[in-house]
Structure 1
Amino acid sequence: MSVVESVLARIPQPYRRIAIRHRELLKFGLVGGVTFFIDTAVFYLLKLTVLDPKPVTAKVVAVLVATIVSYVLNREWSFRTRGGRERHHEATLYFAVSGIGVALYAAPLWISRYVLHLQTPFTTRFVEEIADFTAGQIVGLLVGMAFRWWAFRKWVFPDQKQAAPQEERPLSLSRR
């Protein structure tokens, strides 16, 4: 029995159908959880050491490291049944979409720091840390993740049935 089958067997039947129907989203969320911890660890490692005066740069580097891990996990697990593109084309699209995601991840932290001035000497170090975490690790993550989920499914890992030319699609009365 595979790990997925083992987990599914523990989920109550009504929820099991929902989990199966939304398996890509659940896998994407799990990959996101893993990369959230990678992102957070790298961000704070850099922010509290070599990039202390440059938290936005630390955030960008952390997101880039997490994005590389995310590509491998999403390609090989979350969206493994999708695609059909050549690997280099798919990777180029993935990193282009992720580049936009990096801007979306970093924007709330930039706004918090440089528009709202939630940094020392304008506020206490404690408030600065809470604002950095909230803006960079929560708001930025949610905005970036929503965009990436939509863009990955639409452009990077499209459903092969939807990507096929009209004359090649099999005729079907229902989409279940």
Structure 2
Amino acid sequence: MSVVESVLTRIPQPYRRIAIRHRELLKFGVVGGITFFIDTAIFYFLKLTILAPKPVTAKIVAVLVATIVSYVLNREWSFRTRGGRERHHEAALYFAVSGIGIGLYAAPLWISRYLLHLQEPFTSRFVEEIADFTAGQIVGLLVGMAFRWWAFRKWVFPTHHHAEAEPREMSFSRR
């Protein structure tokens, strides 16, 4: 019995149907949770050590590492029943979408720091840390993950059915 099956057997029946129906989203969320911890650990390690004067750079490096881990986990677990593209094409699309996602992850932190000036000497160190966490680890994460969920399903890991349905739709429009 797989880990997923053993977890599903412990969920009450009404919720089990919902979990099965939204299994890709749940798996994507688990991968997101794992990569959130990777991202947060790397971000704070870099921000508090070698990249202290450059928090946005620290955030970008952390998201890049988390994105590589995310590709492997999403490809092999979350979206393993989707796709059908050659691996190099799929990876290129994944990292292109993730590149846009990195910008979306970093934008709230940049806005917090450089537009709203929520940093020392304009505010206390405590307020700076709260603002960095809120902007970089919560707002940026939510905006980036929502975009990536939508874009991965649409372009990177489309269903086989969707890819097969397009030629039929085109043939109907020619008649």
TM bucket, shorter chain: over 0.9
Q: Distance in 1 between matches of 2:167 and 2:47?
A: 54
Q: Distance in 2 between matches of 1:11 and 1:164?
A: 35
Equivalent AA in structure 1 for residue 8 of structure 2: L
TM-score w.r.t. length of structure 1 = 0.94
Q: Deviations over 1:80-108 (max 9, x none)?
A: 00000000000000000000000000000
**Could you tell me which residue of structure 2 aligns to residue 27 of structure 1?**
27
**Could you tell me which residue of structure 1 aligns to residue 70 of structure 2?**
70
**Could you tell me which residue of structure 1 aligns to residue 55 of structure 2?**
55
**Could you tell me which residue of structure 2 aligns to residue 159 of structure 1?**
159
Shift of 1:168: 6.6
Equivalent AA in structure 1 for residue 43 of structure 2: F
**Could you tell me which residue of structure 2 aligns to residue 104 of structure 1?**
104
Shift of 1:166: 4.5
Q: Distance in 1 between matches of 2:164 and 2:148?
A: 23
Q: Distance in 1 between matches of 2:66 and 2:134?
A: 18
Q: Distance in 1 between matches of 2:165 and 2:133?
A: 45
Equivalent AA in structure 2 for residue 79 of structure 1: F
**Could you tell me which residue of structure 1 aligns to residue 173 of structure 2?**
none
Shift of 1:167: 5.6
Q: Deviations over 1:17-45 (max 9, x none)?
A: 00000000000000000000000000000
**Could you tell me which residue of structure 2 aligns to residue 135 of structure 1?**
135
**Could you tell me which residue of structure 2 aligns to residue 17 of structure 1?**
17
The number of residues matched between the two structures is 169
Q: Distance in 2 between matches of 1:9 and 1:42?
A: 35
Give aligned-pair identity as a percent: 86
Q: Distance in 2 between matches of 1:25 and 1:168?
A: 28
Q: Which has the higher helix share?
A: 2
Q: Deviations over 1:134-175 (max 9, x none)?
A: 000000000000000000000000011001154679xxxxxx
TM-score w.r.t. length of structure 2 = 0.95
Shift of 1:2: 1.4
Q: Distance in 1 between matches of 2:159 and 2:86?
A: 15
- Structure 1 ranges of 4+ moved more than 2 A: 165-169
Equivalent AA in structure 2 for residue 125 of structure 1: R
Q: Deviations over 1:106-138 (max 9, x none)?
A: 000000000000000000000000000000000
For structure 2, list consecutive stretches of 5 or more residues without a partner in the other structure.
170-175
**Could you tell me which residue of structure 2 aligns to residue 5 of structure 1?**
5
**Could you tell me which residue of structure 1 aligns to residue 87 of structure 2?**
87
Equivalent AA in structure 2 for residue 41 of structure 1: A
**Could you tell me which residue of structure 2 aligns to residue 172 of structure 1?**
none
